[in-house]
């Protein structure tokens, strides 16, 4: 078994990277000769961890399949010092592969006891926002503006490993080492992409709200409600997304939501319509305790469709019962609204509840 060890200065990228990649976390990646643990070999495992201001990388290489067990044991020995494993599709591939090999060799392992951060799994939640052709590691590196020396895929290097077994050379070994090394240290560079997800998980503060007038595409007057957020963690590139008529942009430390406002009259429908009378001339419903004072000729028993009160104002859409009271255009209208009041606009709690509501809808609308 061959091993390599490197120590390099840790270059801080942003606060999120520092928080995720602390002294208790370790990156790792395996290289195999195929997808099946029963018929393939782990020929290389690389890992990276922080020690103060340094990044230590170790690689364990099996010169032939007989050294596979030694490679696995060497990695597991380092792993004992850490509590969090950071990987790229490791939960889906690397960890199950490694566990199967440990079972085969009767190696004791405690992989189920670790916390996991699978970058691929996390970024997969952001497909609706990033709109990339695929979500391979190299594609994400390109999105973030990183370039690597390695030009091979893991699949292409299987033949390189077989060639090395037939005729070992430093040139072939360097190709194998380089790909694994860049996969491992490249994961550190990918951590900032998770800052988008942090916003959707509530890592922001509301800095401004504004009700504004604008002219629509058909030159009609309209209003929109603007909400500006300060991201706790800066996002690496500008992105945008539209959910129904709500528009989101994210850039650096700012996220902005533009939400259309319904201006005019809407109706509030009472649930217990049997306790109300409808007044046709007034076009509203009143409780039966009050209706007893109204001439019978001017009232009728309310139905669900006409048991309402009317309200004129500026309203925001909502896609669940988030704010009360709730308004509609008519009884069968699936769209729901609530009024923009001074209490709402000045309340951090209500504003945040609404922002979380919109962000959560965007995050899960793709499903």
Q: Is the dihedral of CA 345, 346, 350, 351 positive or negative?
A: positive
CA R_g for the chain:
29
Is the distance from CB of 254 to CB of 316 less than 8 angstroms? no
| pLDDT tens-place string over residues 216-262 | 777 788 899 999 999 999 999 999 999 998 999 999 999 999 999 99
SS3 call for 306: helix
SS3 call for 189: helix
| pLDDT tens-place string over residues 277-327 | 999 999 999 999 998 888 989 999 999 999 999 999 999 999 988 999 999
Strands (E), the chain: 2-9, 25-32, 42-51, 54-61, 84-87, 115-118, 204-215, 221-243, 246-269, 276-279, 284-287, 300-301, 308-318, 336-339
Q: How far is CA 229 from CA 80, 123, 212, 345, 351, in A?
A: 40, 21, 17, 14, 11
Nearest to 107 by CA among 75, 73, 137, 140: 73
Is the distance from CB of 278 to CB of 298 less than 8 angstroms? no
pLDDT computed for residue 211 by the predictor: 95
Cβ contacts of residue 119 below 8 Å, gap of 6+? 86, 87, 88, 187, 190, 191, 193, 194
Low-confidence ranges of the chain (pLDDT < 70): 366-367
Q: Residue 52 — left, alpha, or beta (φ > 0 → left; ψ -120 to 50 → alpha)? A: left
> Token pair of 244, please?
């129904």
The sheet with strand 336-339 has its strands ordered as 204-215, 221-243, 246-269, 308-318, 336-339
- Domain ranges in the chain? 2-197, 203-270+307-367
Nearest to 73 by CA among 144, 143, 3, 175: 3
CATH class, range 2-197: alpha beta
Nearest to 92 by CA among 130, 124, 58: 124
The CA distance from 354 to 317, in Å, is: 10
pLDDT computed for residue 68 by the predictor: 97
The end-to-end CA distance of the chain, in Å, is 46
Give the up-direction half-sphere exposure of residue 124: CA atoms within 13 A in the CB hemisphere.
10
Cis? peptide before 205, omega within 30° of 0: no
SS3 call for 287: strand
pLDDT computed for residue 366 by the predictor: 59
Max Cα–Cα distance, the chain, nearest Å: 104
Give the up-direction half-sphere exposure of residue 36: CA atoms within 13 A in the CB hemisphere.
2
The CA distance from 32 to 47, in Å, is: 15
The beta-carbon contacts of 127-131 under 8 Å, at least 24 apart in sequence, are 127/366, 128/241, 128/362, 128/363, 128/365, 128/366, 129/196, 129/239, 129/241, 129/250, 129/362, 130/193, 130/196, 130/239
């Amino acid at each position: 078994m061959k091993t390599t060890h490197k120590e390099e200065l840790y270059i801080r990228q942003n606060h999120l990277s520092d928080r995720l990649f602390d002294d208790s976390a370790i990156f790792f990646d395996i290289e195999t000769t195929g997808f099946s643990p029963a018929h393939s070999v782990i020929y290389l495992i690389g890992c990276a961890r922080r020690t103060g201001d340094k990044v230590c990388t170790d690689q364990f290489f099996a010169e032939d399949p007989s050294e596979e067990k030694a490679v696995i044991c060497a990695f597991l020995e380092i792993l004992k010092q850490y509590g969090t494993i950071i990987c790229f599709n490791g939960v889906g591939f690397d960890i199950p592969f490694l566990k199967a090999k440990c079972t085969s060799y009767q190696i004791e392992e405690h992989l189920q006891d670790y916390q996991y951060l699978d970058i691929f799994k996390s970024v997969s939640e952001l497909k609706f926002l990033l709109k990339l052709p695929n979500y391979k590691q190299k594609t994400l590196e390109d999105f973030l503006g990183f370039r690597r020396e390695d030009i091979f895929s893991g699949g292409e290097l299987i033949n390189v490993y077989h060639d090395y077994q037939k005729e070992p050379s430093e040139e072939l070994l360097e190709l194998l080492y380089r790909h694994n090394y860049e996969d491992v240290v490249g994961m550190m560079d990918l951590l900032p992409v998770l800052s988008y997800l942090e916003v959707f998980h509530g890592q922001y503060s509301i800095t401004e709200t504004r009700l504004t007038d604008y002219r629509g595409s058909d030159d009609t007057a309209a209003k929109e409600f603007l909400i500006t957020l300060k991201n706790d963690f800066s996002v690496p590139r500008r992105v945008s997304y539209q959910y129904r008529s709500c528009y989101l942009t994210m850039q650096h430390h700012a996220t902005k939501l533009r939400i259309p406002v319904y201006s005019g009259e809407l109706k509030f429908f009472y649930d217990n319509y049997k306790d109300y009378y409808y007044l046709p001339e007034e076009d509203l419903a009143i409780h039966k305790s009050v209706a007893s004072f109204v001439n019978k000729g001017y009232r009728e028993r309310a139905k669900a469709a006409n048991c309402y009160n009317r309200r004129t104002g500026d309203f925001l859409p909502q896609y669940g019962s988030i704010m009360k009271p709730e308004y509609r255009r008519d009884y069968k209208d699936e769209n729901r609204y609530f009024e923009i009041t001074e209490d709402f606009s000045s309340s951090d709690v209500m504003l945040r509840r609404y922002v979380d509501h919109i962000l959560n809808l965007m995050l899960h609308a793709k499903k």
